[in-house]
Amino acid sequence: YRLVPEVCFPEQYYDALRATKHFLQPDVLAQYSVDPSRIAISGDSAGGNLAAAVCQQLSKDEDLIIRPKLQALIYPVLQAFDFNTPSYQQNMNMPVLPRYVMINYWIDYFNGNYDLAHALLINNHTALNVGQALSFRGRLNWTSLLPSSFKKNYKPVVQTTGMAEIIQQMPALLDVRAVPLLADNETLQLQPKTYMLTCENDVLRDDGVMYAKRLENAGVEVTLDHFDDCFHGCMIFTVWPTDFSAGVQTRNSYIKWLDENL
């Protein structure tokens, strides 16, 4: 898929969707000797976002003959609704992906204004007086979706009065094609068997854990593979001189699940 700043949302989503639908055509699968009953959609970080969004769209496409058997999401980016989940608070200054960098990535993706970064950081865009956000609040209630071991002693950050103009300027903040965690339960029920890898030292940990819980609540079979001693992006660190144990163990666990389930 094409990258920022060449193009912004929703072009990356459409690129990934077009490529996937092309690959799923019977003649294309035959060309590459692919078993149509053993296809997985997978991605890490921003790729995990696109993988989840594409999977949701494919599940609603009634004309599709061949569908993925699995989705495997590796520390995916799934929501821009709440930048004060416990993992965002706990890891706000964690190297590789501190909170302010993740917020700037969202602004880049939506072709927004960096002047809005602080307002996003304190959840002004989803304050109680922002009507567009109200219907989504229950789909991302981490106080009920996260286990106590992840909630720890963190408190929700919910502004009473915020800035509705942020949503007007960046409506994609509430577009499920960009933020798959906000999808409705009817869509989640259609998702394939799911693998979710999360890392403790990662602002995105709770994105993955909440999505896993919502999928599970919707009746989807989910494996949540959580690593207490790993960090965002660690799976790429498997080759010398950055062959870290965090990279090796996450990669091996991911491949093992695919071997056993695909």
**Dmax over Cα atoms in the chain, in whole Å?**
56
Q: Is 135 a catalytic residue?
A: no
C-alpha 108: how far from chain center: 16
Find the catalytic residue in 33, 37, 42, 45.
45
Can you name the residues that pair with 199 across neighbouring β-strands?
227
Q: Whole-angstrom distance between the N-terminal and C-terminal Cα of the chain?
A: 25
- Between the alpha carbon of residue 107 and those of residues 3, 4, 29, the distances in Å are 14, 10, 37
C-alpha 89: how far from chain center: 18
Look at the alpha carbons of 53, 58, 141, 168 in this order and tell me if their dihedral is positive or negative: positive
Q: At what angle do helices 46-59 and 11-23 cross, to 10 degrees?
A: 60
Residues recognised as catalytic: 45
